[in-house]
């Protein structure tokens, strides 16, 4: 069979078909792509084809068969790397790579342990098409006449490629109208456009983003500011200034999701100290609070906290727009007499923090060099949380008061590993090692928070402080839904997945005496206005998309970075509207008004960041600074 002559484009056909089928298999086995009907499955099946036809088809222009074969092998290697890169990234982030993420090389060293936990020997499959093409080149006897295709043949070939592309786009538009203009969901883009077309689209979007800043003149800010003013609420009078003059301590609870609070794992309490705080007379605990981060994860949560702007859809703001002008919470507190700092026992360049903190006018950054990491005190990405908190409080004793100090914990981070002496509860018994270990690191994080409180009391800082704590992002991704189904005792649906994005939010005010559990639906976008009102600082002229959680006017509406949203009545996820109380699908019309609002807020926020529009804004008088006679609505 191998001795017979095959048609001259046999290798090309084999290359296209092999990479196409491999890509589809990877879609089905390595990504959690939701398929709701036969049309979506068909789109998923055909969407790699158009790009593969285009890029492999370039080989038709080569004169030498050897050069042609080398080119096809090179394309197979490149597409395999792109595909595998997304698989490895997805295992950790449950998302697809974007162009800015590829250039975040400063983070690669710190990602070592997490990346290693996501690599398996079976990953060689992702390069299987390269092997098939090499074998075909070696053993298949191809006709040697007319190696170079004629102009007519090439035109016919590319007409076919264009036909496949437009067929794909037509089906995608029918299935998901305005896909390219109104989608912040990368899974939706990959599902409808294909992995390879998605990356081309991402390059276009990122290029457009860079052009936006260069061409911006400030007029773009008018609509966004008018929207913010129209939706502005009056902050709570009862909570206004309740912590004025106190030290502000904000603690990021790394990867902690709300399902761990007031819960047990095989009869063992996961977070005993945080559980006690939910019943503490000096604590207000928000039980319906959601993270709103994107690819920037912890850094995105910091961005939300400081600015009450949404993070970007395609990368970490800390990396892509660290040189922008911002009106951060730290800057406002600094203008009101506070010394400001962040404490984080990791390298200062991770997530580009050293540069971004300067842009946000944070006075000092206590990075890993500011801590003494003793023997047995390092784990995963840096210093263990207990010694970190002990030394952080020691730093606080030397700070000018009042101070604003933000603490970023580390131990409860993927891959959730601990030294034996730090394991205070047993592992879970699911098929997911990640979830099994997660409960142990969450328990250790809880223990470290109790140490923090004890240290603050011992050093005399507790009574004159307010302590705010929030979960920064999910710890358990959708890749572990089977294990989560076992733990929760119910299937993890799109609705359940959205509800699992709840993270704890604690406001602890020593001496308050009126603590309670608040069921208000809110998100990280609301942290800045809530905290600033408690500190007695007016934000009425700031451009912020959140609102004071304590205000009676607060709208119970939380937008996720991918376009999903939650209200007090409905949850919108997977393009389905769910009743929040029952978790069952309900009339789509109930979600329709919020879909437009979610898109509007995300779009306005993104335009502010991409255009660096706050450089044109004077927060003191609420006017543009570079365009005469333009008064923004108050």
Catalytic site residues?
298
- For the CA atoms of 614, 615, 616, 619, the dihedral, rounded to the nearest 10 degrees, stands at 60
Question: Do 216 and 600 form a contact (C-beta atoms < 8 A)?
Answer: no
| Bond preceding residue 543 cis, omega within 30 of 0 | no
Partners of 626 in the beta sheet?
Answer: none
Round to whole Å and give the CA distance between 285 and 271: 14
Burial 192-202 (b: 16+ CB within 10 A, else e): bbbbbbbbebb
Write the DSSP string, 124-147: GGGGHHHHHHHHHHHH-EE--S--
Q: Residue 631 CB: number of other CB atoms within 10 A?
A: 10
Residues 6+ apart with CB under 8 A from 66: none
Check residue 560 and report its DSSP letter: -
Write the DSSP string, 308-353: --PPPSSS-HHHHSTTS----HHHHHHHTT-EEEEEESS-TTGGGH
Identify the sign of the CA torsion 175, 181, 187, 191.
positive
Determine the Cα angle at 227 with ends 226 and 228, to 5°: 90
Question: Do 221 and 617 form a contact (C-beta atoms < 8 A)?
Answer: yes
List the structure tokens of 36: 């709701």
Q: Burial, 146: exposed, middle or buried (Cβ in 10 Å; 0-12, 13-18, 19+)?
A: exposed
Round to whole Å and give the CA distance between 632 and 623: 6
Question: Do 367 and 331 form a contact (C-beta atoms < 8 A)?
Answer: no
Helices and strands (H and E) in the chain: how many: 22, 20
Round to whole Å and give the CA distance between 224 and 217: 14
Question: Do 469 and 505 form a contact (C-beta atoms < 8 A)?
Answer: yes
Query: Residues in the chain, how many?
Result: 634
Backbone angles phi, psi at 101, to 5 degrees: -65, -35
Q: 382-383 and 378-379: which strand pairing? A: antiparallel
């Amino acid at each position: 069979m191998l001795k017979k002559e095959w048609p001259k484009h046999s290798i090309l056909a084999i290359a296209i078909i092999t990479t196409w089928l491999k890509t589809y298999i990877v879609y089905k086995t390595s990504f959690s792509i939701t398929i709701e009907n036969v049309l979506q499955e068909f789109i998923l099946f055909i969407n790699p084809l158009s790009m593969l036809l285009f890029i492999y088809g370039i080989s038709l222009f080569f004169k030498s068969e050897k050069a042609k074969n080398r080119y096809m092998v090179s394309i197979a290697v490149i597409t395999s790397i792109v595909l595998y890169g997304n698989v490895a990234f997805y295992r950790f982030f449950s998302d697809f790579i974007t162009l800015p993420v590829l250039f975040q090389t400063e983070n690669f060293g710190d990602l070592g342990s997490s990346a290693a936990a996501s690599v398996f020997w079976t990953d060689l499959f992702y390069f299987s098409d390269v092997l098939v093409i090499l074998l075909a080149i070696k053993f298949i006897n191809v006709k040697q006449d007319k190696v170079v295709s004629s102009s007519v043949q090439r035109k016919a070939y590319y007409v076919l490629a264009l036909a496949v592309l437009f067929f794909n786009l037509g089906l995608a538009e029918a299935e998901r109208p305005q896909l390219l203009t109104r989608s912040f969901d990368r899974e939706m883009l990959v599902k409808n456009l294909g992995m390879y077309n998605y990356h081309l689209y991402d390059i276009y979007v990122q290029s457009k983003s860079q052009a936006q800043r260069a061409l911006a003149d400030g007029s773009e800010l008018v609509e966004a500011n008018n929207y913010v003013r129209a939706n502005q609420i009056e902050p709570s009078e009862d909570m206004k200034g309740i912590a004025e003059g106190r030290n502000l301590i904000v603690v990021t609870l790394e990867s902690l999701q709300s399902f761990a609070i007031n819960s047990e794992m095989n009869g063992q309490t996961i977070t005993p100290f945080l559980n006690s705080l939910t019943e503490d007379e000096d604590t207000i605990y928000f039980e319906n609070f959601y993270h709103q981060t994107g690819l920037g994860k912890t850094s995105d949560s910091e961005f939300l906290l400081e600015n009450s702007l949404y993070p970007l859809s395609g990368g970490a703001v800390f990396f892509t727009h660290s040189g922008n002008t911002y009106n951060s919470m730290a800057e406002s507190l600094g203008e009101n007499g506070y010394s400001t700092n962040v404490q984080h026992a990791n390298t200062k360049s991770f997530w580009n923090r050293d540069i971004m903190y300067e842009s946000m006018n944070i006075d000092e950054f206590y990075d890993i060099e500011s801590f003494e990491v003793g023997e047995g005190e390092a784990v995963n990405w840096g210093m263990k949380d207990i010694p970190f908190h002990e030394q952080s409080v020691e730093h606080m004793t030397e700070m000018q008061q009042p101070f604003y100090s933000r603490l970023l914990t580390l131990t409860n981070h993927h891959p959730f590993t601990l030294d034996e002496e730090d394991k205070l509860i047993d592992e879970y018994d699911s098929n997911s090692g990640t979830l099994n270990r997660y409960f142990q690191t969450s328990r250790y994080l809880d223990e470290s928070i109790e140490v923090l409180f004890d240290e603050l009391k011992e050093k005399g800082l507790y009574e004159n402080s307010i302590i705010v704590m929030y979960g920064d992002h999910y710890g358990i991704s959708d890749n572990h839904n089977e294990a989560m189904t076992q733990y929760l005792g119910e299937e993890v649906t799109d609705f359940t997945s959205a509800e699992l994005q709840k993270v704890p939010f604690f406001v602890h005010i020593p001496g308050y005496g009126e603590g309670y559990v608040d069921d208000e639906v809110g998100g990280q976008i609301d942290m800045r206005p809530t905290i600033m009102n408690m500190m007695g600082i007016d934000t009425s002229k700031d451009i912020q998309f959140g609102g004071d959680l304590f205000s009676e006017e607060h709208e119970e509406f939380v937008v996720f970075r991918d376009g999903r949203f939650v209200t007090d009545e409905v949850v919108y996820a997977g393009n389905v509207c769910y009743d929040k109380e029952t978790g069952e699908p309900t009339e789509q019309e109930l979600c329709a008004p919020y879909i437009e609002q979610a898109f509007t807020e995300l779009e306005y926020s993104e335009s502010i960041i991409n255009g660096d529009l706050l450089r044109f804004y004077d927060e003191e008088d609420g006017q543009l600074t570079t365009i005469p006679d333009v008064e923004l609505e108050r």
